[in-house]
Every structure is written in C-alpha cells, then in structure tokens.
Chains A and B, each alone.
Chain A
C-alpha cells in the first residue's frame, strides 16, 4: 500500500492567516492526489483533485501544488468556516489511501 503522511498533525492559526499543509507519499504518485475538508459530524468534501485543480464551488483561497511524492495544500487567507480537518488521498493505485489528517484549529 502507498502510505500518505501529513504534517503537521494539527495547527493553530488565526482568521486571515496563510496556512500550508504538507502530504508526502511513500512512492511516486504523479499528480493523482486529492485534498478533502471534513467538519465534525459531516462527510469529507472534495477541495482539490489532480494535485492542483480546484473542485467546483471551492473558494479560490484554496490551492494545491506538487507532484511525485510531495504535495501541499495552501489556504491563502483563513476564514472562520475553514477550521476543520484536512485529508489528502492518493488515487494512483489500489488500495486508495488517505493521510492521517491535519486538524486546523483557531488560535
């Protein structure tokens, strides 16, 4: 299985801050990476696919980059509704695997 490792596991930030979350794959996955946002008691929501493509309806303050084994999710100016847990997921090969999650908390 391809292991996905996110860092940090948690981060505290303020409204208006720029935040970057990193995801590393245990082997080359090209650009087959997605980012999801999950709020408590809710299903994950697709934010970014193919490493850098913004899913429909996702605000432009979210962006993704990277290829191969190293990827980043950046939120350019945090809004109150962005405080949540974020997961990366590789779509390169079975079984599809997720990172352990990064919890974004209010400072």
Chain B
C-alpha cells in the first residue's frame, strides 16, 4: 500500500521560503508510471493544484504560482519536495502531496498524504 507523508516547518515568516518534503513508502518514486504533485487548501476553502514532477525531471506548475515555485525529486530518498518563495499570509494553507496516476492520458490523484498545515506569520 502506497503511503505519502508530508514534513516541514509549520510556521514560516512573510517573505521567506516555504519548504516541504513528501516521503513516499510502499512503492518506488522512480516508477515511470506516475507524476508527483503538490496541492494546497486554505482553511475552510477549496483545493488548488500547485504543480507536479516526473521522475525523469519534467515539471509543470500552476501559472499563478510559477514564478515562486520549485518542485524537485530525490530518488535515492524516495522523496519529492516543494519550495515556495516570497510567501505571504495568502499562502497559509494545508499542503498535500499526492500521486498522479494516469489512464487514457489523463492524470488523477489516487494517493494523498495526510496534509500539513503551514502558517505564514511573523
């Protein structure tokens, strides 16, 4: 059974960089069958896709965040990571990592981490 677990600071100061890691267990992140995504959810609100990475290095980002986001992958640790710079209070949210599984060329999120709350505050 695949499991994903987010980790990282729960509090980040404004203008600094938010850094989170997702550790994948029960399966290899190096499998070419999947993409690995970050998704966030402000308290009481809906879901926002941030971006994704493929094990062979390809990335796609949401245009609204693209200038501030970097997603990377470490196959030796079976982890992928999110960096979001120049954060503001609007970046306060629960951050989820998720596995993108495809069928017919479309990707859906079939496994999710439990989520981690990141608060941006001084």
Given contacts A32-B106, A50-B103, A50-B106, contact A43 B47 (CB under 8 A): no
CA of A13 to CA of B107 in the docked complex: distance in angstroms?
32
CA of A50 to CA of B110 in the docked complex: distance in angstroms?
13
| Chain B residues whose C-beta falls within 8 Å of the C-beta of A97 in the assembled complex | 49
Binding site secondary structure of chain B: strand
B106–A87 touching, CB < 8 Å: no
For B82-97 the 0/1 string (1 means CB < 8 A from A) is 0000000000000010
CA of A107 to CA of B106 in the docked complex: distance in angstroms?
36
B62–A49 touching, CB < 8 Å: no
Q: Out of B48, B61, B64, B112, which one reaches A98, CB within 8 Å?
A: B48
Interface-facing stretch out of A17-25, A68-76, A88-96 = A88-96
Q: Which residue of B lies closest to A100 (CB)?
A: B46
Q: Which residue of A lies closest to B63 (CB)?
A: A95
How many residues on chain B are close to A (CB under 8 Å)?
A: 22
Q: Out of A42, A92, A96, which one reaches B114, CB within 8 Å?
A: A42
Q: Out of A36, A43, A92, A101, which one reaches B106, CB within 8 Å?
A: A92
CA of A101 to CA of B48 in the docked complex: distance in angstroms?
12
A43–B103 touching, CB < 8 Å: no
Given contacts A49-B103, A95-B63, contact A43 B49 (CB under 8 A): no
| Shortest distance from the beta carbon of A52 to any chain B beta carbon, whole Å | 12
| Chain B residues whose C-beta falls within 8 Å of the C-beta of A94 in the assembled complex | 60, 62-63
Most buried by B among A31, A43, A45, A94: A43
User: Is A8 engaged at the interface, CB distance under 8 Å to the other chain?
Assistant: no
